[in-house]
Amino acid sequence: MITSVLRQGLRTRGNEPAVLCHTGFQGRGCVYFDWLRLGVRDRIVDLDTRPMGEPVRVRGVGGRGEAEEVGLLAVVAASLTDLRRSLTTAVHLPPAVHLVAVVADMPGHQGPLLPAPPGINEWHGLQELRLRRTGKSGWVCELFFPGGTDTASALETVLHGTGGRRRGPRPVPLGGLHGPEGALWRSGDASASGVSATGPVPLRRVTPVVDLVVRTHDGGPPPDWEDEAVPCLDLETTAAGSWERLTRSGNGHHGSGHHTWRPGEGAPPRVREADPAELVAPIDERVINPCGFARKSGGPMGDLTVHDQHAVIRDGNKVLAVIPENGTVTDLDIGRARYLRGVRVDWSGHSGPAAAVRAVASLAAAGVPTVSGPVPAWASALGHPLADLLTAAGEEALRDPLLREEHSIRLRRAALRTHGQLTRWRSLARRAGVPLPPDPLVSVVMCTRRPEMVGFALAQIARQRHVRFEVVLTLHGFSADLPEVSSAVAEFTATGARVIVHEAPADQVFGAVLNDAVDRASGPIIAKWDDDDWYGPEHLADLMLARTYSGADLVGSSTDYVYLQELDLTAWRSYHSELPSPHVAGGTILTDRSVLEEVGGFRPLPRAIDSQLLLAVRRVGGRIYRAHGLCYMLRRVAEGHTWNEDPGYFVRKSTKQWSGWRPSALMEGVPEPLGRPGGVTEYTGGHR
């Protein structure tokens, strides 16, 4: 199918040249190009070896009096990870009349290559769009623009449509790239710019097009940087840090030759040593993430090891994935390893330190339960949290589905926060002295009818970490002057957190109360909180991670844990999580304020508020994502809930049961209620 599409495109492009690009085929060339008849002006481009900062030149295109676009431009990617990386390099590709985007294979949780059109009139020149499946899980998307179109912008619309309508946060600051492997540092970002080796950075009107430049090199001394307005960082490629080169040079420490300097200071001086993690190309969290995590714990153990002089992921003698020398693990590789109970790391099976770190960190970021023996000193770029976790769990522990998932969640947290692309660029910016915008503020909206639960709920919020937050506390039908309320609010404020207290009339309908609370919030992100449930200290942080990697409009947790207060029983239900789903726990909803505005806010109803919001998001074409539920426990009592199910419902649906209050280890216990040192002695239930 792929070769047939390309052959047809070559026949219909007329006399105009063609550019055929491939990525992700690990230096073997692209088999789909083998039987094509090419003209003298046609070009085949390996995007994996194409350095940033060097435009792709095509004879007869782009010069004075010449055509501005090629007749056919194809980008054939082995996986979606590779296509996203190629988007960064695509800024150097010429415009095209006929654009073909191909992903040869994709895991089941990914959508088709269906473009999401850009703004008004930007695609008025589109004449035809074709979308076809190739094989069992590959896709071919063709776009026809008789007047030509910008290749990078059109590819970005294809990737945007595949990942959901919400683009999600982009790395900051604006990045410029030069050199080999440059695209590894800014995967999937069409706003990245290729720059020359010495600068200066091009201007858009009167401002530089980027705020920070990263130059990659293979170990040789880079030329002097000549731009006084934009700082530059020099970083070695993974090839420069290969064991072969390190051994040949007699230097056993990866990371030498990494410099940073501010312009206008003459020759670049050495500054403080960077965090070793900063020297490793980051992970593209939009494709390497826990989406598609499998809870089954009965599979075999796999190995990340060496086979036939290549790093591989292997199940016994079966090779599931071959890892390239730069350590890139693709979404396709992760999909093939999902059935494994876990993966053992053999530290001898890699081309070099940076490649090994990237491969191991990618498995961890995807939530693949990964274990190893002692981590060698040369892998310090993993970071202490991730290195410690690799040795903390044994293979036998992974047979327990709960222990396995807890280990997976800890791994993904450490890897994404250390090696994700968003984290890496913020770290590089701080090192170069580039100012950064603050992390987004999460406004936690909580409405309660029970003054006795205010201290309990605020204590849950107060211990949230790795996220900026404020609280909008709505007292539904009672005053903030009550002693238990005022003391809890005072103690919460003493922690340094901000709280806005709002008193709502007792007869105001619940949905309207929530809308008033959102109106008082100042953050761009709204998180709903229930006053009687339990939340782990990284509940909000995990949802913010899911918001980033899922591209969803609304995220929430699954209701895995339920405490049945009448029976003094904890029930665990093995729900599928880390997947798009129409249902999430109402007390865990997190969404952008703009999404609430789009759907008209909460419906002014006394009950079923959460389910109505989820339905409204789906009706406007939004995407809902269900993250793991091990940092949330629902509390059920005899009455007072709008979800009217008897305790037997939860018992029948449970996978495991324990007497008493038995949360996941990720809950890290429960804090004492603020303002109530003696704890909560009464509980009456309430609206949800």
What is the SS3 assignment for 286? coil
Residues 610, 585: Cα–Cα separation, whole Å: 8
**Stated length of the chain:** 688
Model confidence pLDDT, tens digit, residues 11-22: 999 899 999 999
Q: Copy the structure tokens of residue 144.
A: 């026809």
With residue 97 as reference, give the H or E element that holds it: strand 96-103
Shortest CA distance to 484 belongs to which of 681, 667, 671, 641?
681
Contacts of 380 (CB under 8 A, 6+ apart): 276, 387
pLDDT at position 641 is 47
CA torsion sign, 10 to 15 to 19 to 25?
positive
User: What pLDDT does 221 receive?
Assistant: 84
Burial class (CB in 10 A: 0-12, 13-18, 19+), 244: exposed
The better pLDDT of the pair 168, 319 is held by 319
Tell me what the mean pLDDT of segment 65-84 comes to: 95
Q: For 550, what's the count of Cα atoms within 13 Å in the CB-facing half-sphere?
A: 29
Q: How confident is the model at residue 675 (pLDDT cuts 50, 70, 90)?
A: low
- Segment 385-403 shows an average pLDDT of 95
Find out if CATH 3.40.50 is the number for domain 2-163.
yes
Q: What is the pLDDT of residues 463-508, one digit of tens each?
A: 999 999 999 999 999 999 999 999 999 999 999 999 999 999 999 9
Q: What is the pLDDT of residue 642?
A: 45
Query: What is the pLDDT confidence band of residue 256, given thresholds at 50, 70 and 90?
Result: very low
pLDDT at residue 258 tops 80: no
141 — pLDDT class (breaks 50, 70, 90) = very high
What's the whole-model pTM score? 0.92
- ω into residue 385 within 30 of 0, thus cis? no
Give the amino acid at 326: N
Please state, for a pLDDT cut of 90, what percent of the chain lies above it: 78
What pLDDT, on the 0 to 100 scale, is given for residue 638?
Answer: 63
What is the residue-wise DSSP string for 25-37? STTS--GGGTT--
Residues sharing a CB contact under 8 Å with residue 485, sequence separation 6 or more, in sequence order: 451, 454, 475, 478, 479, 675
The whole-number average pLDDT for the span 164-168 is 78
**Torsions phi, psi for 658 (to 5 deg):** -135, 145
Provide CB contacts within 8 A for 562, sequence distance 6+.
Answer: 570, 571, 573, 633, 634, 635, 636, 650, 654
Q: Are strands 203-204 and 207-208 parallel, antiparallel or unpaired?
A: antiparallel
Radius of gyration of the chain (CA): 27
Phi, psi (deg, nearest 5) at residue 448: -140, 145
Distance in angstroms (rounded) separating the CA atoms of residues 436 and 77: 33
Q: Compute the mean pLDDT over every residue in the chain, rounded to the nearest whole number.
A: 90
Q: What average pLDDT does this structure show over 252-279?
A: 51
The CATH topology of domain 441-667 is Spore Coat Polysaccharide Biosynthesis Protein SpsA; Chain A (3.90.550)
Give residue 144's identity as a one-letter amino acid code: F
**CATH 3.40.50 domain extents, the chain:** 2-163
* CA neighbor of 50 nearest in space, from 17, 81, 91, 84: 91
Residue 119 has pLDDT above 80, yes or no: no
pLDDT tier at 575 (50, 70, 90 boundaries)?
Answer: confident
Cα-based distances in Å from 653 to 420, 625, 646: 37, 22, 12
Amino acid at 559: T
Q: Which residue has the tokens 């007497």?
A: 659
The pLDDT-based confidence of 351 (bands split at 50, 70, 90) is confident
- Does residue 600 surpass a pLDDT of 70? yes
CATH 3.90.550.10 residue window(s) in the chain: 441-667
